[in-house]
Chains A and B, each alone.
Chain A
């Protein structure tokens, strides 16, 4: 048991375990299925927030277009579900039975060729994961190899989000337009709208999320994680240590895109529709807020951030329909101004040291090595001869 405790402390897996218990045990027991399904929806956004922790917090690259990848993942899943919901019998009143209803309304008489792969679930799954990742690779390659970064990168990703929204809305016959894809019913014959299915989807989402956190933690602990932090702060030093900085950024961007796509697919499954309002600029910025509120250096924090902000959104919009946007903005500004490291920063810098000081007087709080802002520290001490380490003293003539 002691060994397990030290392992939890050292690997930082304690927080993940706590989160897993909360999501997989406490929430299903306490919440009714309607609320639990809402939590599932929030948790599908948490995938995007995880990606942003890796890309923005660790990689130092802010993307304001994660909605693109979330949307592509979501649309990929929606296309498969829509095709399944549009069998010739249910759609026999259409002028062309067997194609999605919105195609019929837009005078399409046959399924477009690029929709065909989405008839097969494995192919649809493969495409909804690879297409966003490849798009991220192409954008990342074009940007990072040319050393576009910072604000310019953020603006370009934002432009991509806008382009995709315009494209989806404009190509109504192929994408369902502004209404998105609705009336999704079954997944390979399994009705996803029942309470039972919602429970199962919720647990799948939680399992995938915990798995994603574990994989990301492993990446953070690898040399690649160290390098991401290093190139965030001293890009030139990393470059002139023999690393191709662009490749590492492309990797982080692809990883963030892949995670967002998983989130999008889980969103479609749990909420039952996908629309361009989840792809564009505003949702993309909201996703950044989830990560910022949770703490952009903390994976677990990002999940809590997604939960809290989305819960706040639901609560405020139910209770104060006129004021809720202002309250949301207030929450965001308050957290970012008051606690630049987000909720995770509050925990690591204030609560944890307090708890440790309170309960074990001897142990001093560990310094946080990977913080977004450098910690306050005393001025470096002057090097006096006596304080020189042995290696140097040994060199005296």
Chain B
């Protein structure tokens, strides 16, 4: 595979589960500072694609290059350390810990066993926690137990935990699922702010939300890419209307 200027270059990617190809010879390129939204009907392979990029699932074939480094054989924690952050579909936070602790644990220092033993929560760490907490709107709730937050706040907290690591590529799986209208607006603004200086991939179903945030939209269907382009282009594509938007 050739080297590219893209932050993320997925080429010829295939994964099969017992013969069923969840991702089928897929190629995808994401630019710097881009906010890419992936849409597609249920079972199109959107979440599987994110799983493959972050190493949760292993590819049967093909390559995933992040800043021209091959990721397909790397351990998950190394992929994260290389600069890829992943948010899961359901809020995945440490419910029994405070908001502050949730963010502090995500700070990228003291990641080895003995590093963690020696880790001190010094002023730069606290400063970073406060900055991120303000960004995600939880600045006044640092001492709240995370399990007591509302659903939307939990989603923001998980995004905040990723921001603590300052990843170059951020992947969000349905970040607004279950959010109120107001929370959706706030999340859209949050995403637009955080995609500066990094690339973001978002999986989403809500078309209004997609229109609001997307720079470029990729439509997936049966493990393949059906269409790619701006929201208008994609919406007027007859193939897309046929499989997805039409019904």
Measured CB to CB, the residues of A under 8 A from B are 219, 222-224, 226-227, 229-230, 233-234, 236-245, 247-248, 250-251, 367, 369-371, 374, 377, 380-383, 385, 388-392, 395, 397
- A226 in complex: contacting residue of B77, B105, B111, B133, CB < 8 Å: B105
A380 touches B88 (CB 8 A): no
Contacts of A392 in B (CB 8 A): 137, 186
- Please indicate the chain B residues that have their CB under 8 angstroms from the CB of A242 in the complex: 77, 80-81, 108, 111, 165
Nearest-neighbor residue (CB-CB) of B189 within chain A: A395
How many Å lie between the Cα of A389 and that of B150 in the bound state? 13
Q: Show 9 A/B contacts (Cβ-Cβ < 8 Å), sorted by A.
A: A219-B117, A224-B113, A224-B117, A237-B92, A241-B165, A247-B113, A374-B96, A383-B152, A391-B136
Report the separation of the CA atoms of residues A224 and B153 in the bound assembly, to the nearest whole angstrom: 26
Identify B75's interface contact among A241, A244, A383, A385, CB under 8 A: A244
Contact of B86 among A240, A374, A390 (CB under 8 A): A240
Complex interface residues of chain B between 141 and 198 (CB less than 8 A to chain A): 141, 145, 147-153, 158, 161, 165, 180, 182-183, 186, 189-190
Q: How far is the CA of A367 from the CA of B54 in the complex (A)?
A: 36
By the criterion CB–CB under 8 Å, are B141 and A389 in contact? yes
**Contact at A369–B98, with CB atoms within 8 Å?**
yes
With A222-B116, A236-B92 already in contact, 18 other A-B pairs whose C-beta atoms are closer than 8 Å: A219-B117, A230-B105, A233-B94, A240-B56, A240-B76, A242-B81, A242-B108, A243-B111, A251-B113, A367-B145, A370-B96, A377-B148, A383-B183, A388-B186, A389-B139, A390-B139, A391-B133, A391-B134
Q: Tell me, yes or no, whether B135 is within 8 Å of chain A by CB.
A: yes
List of B residues within 8 angstroms of A380 by Cβ: 148-151, 153
Q: Is B140 an interface residue (CB 8 A)?
A: yes
Q: Check B76 against A224 for contact (C-beta < 8 Å).
A: no
Q: What is the count of residue pairs linking A and B with beta-carbon distances less than 8 angstroms?
A: 130
> Would A236 and B94 count as touching, CB distance under 8 A?
no
Distance between B102 CB and nearest chain A CB, rounded to angstroms: 8
> For residue B83, which residue of chain A has the nearest CB?
A242
Answer yes or no: B47 CB below 8 A from chain A CBs.
Answer: no
In the complex, whether B214 has a CB less than 8 A from a CB of chain A is: no
Given A219-B117, A391-B139, A247:B96 Cβ within 8 A: no
**Is A383 a contact of B153 with CB atoms below 8 Å?**
yes
Nearest 10 pairs between A and B by C-beta? A392-B137, A242-B80, A223-B119, A224-B116, A391-B137, A237-B92, A223-B116, A380-B150, A389-B140, A391-B134
Min CB gap A98→B, angstroms: 44
Give the contacting residue for A230; candidates B97, B136, B149; CB below 8 A.
B97
Q: Quick one: which of B93, B111, B150 contacts A382, CB cutoff 8 A?
A: B150
Task: Scan residues 88-112 of chain B and give those whose CB is less than 8 A from a CB of chain A.
Answer: 88, 92-98, 101, 104-106, 108, 110-112
B138 on the A face (CB < 8 A): yes
Q: CA of A357 to CA of B85 in the docked complex: distance in angstroms?
A: 45
| Contact indicator B76/A233 (Cβ below 8 Å) | no
- Cα-based distance from A219 to B149 in the complex (angstroms): 28
User: Is there contact, CB below 8 Å, between B105 and A241?
Assistant: yes
Q: Nearest A residue to B139 by beta-carbon distance?
A: A391
Q: Are B56 and A388 in contact (CB under 8 A)?
A: no
Q: How far apart are A367's CB and chain B's nearest CB, in angstroms?
A: 7
In the complex, A230 Cα to B102 Cα: how many Å? 9
B32-58 interface with A by 8 A CB criterion: 54, 56
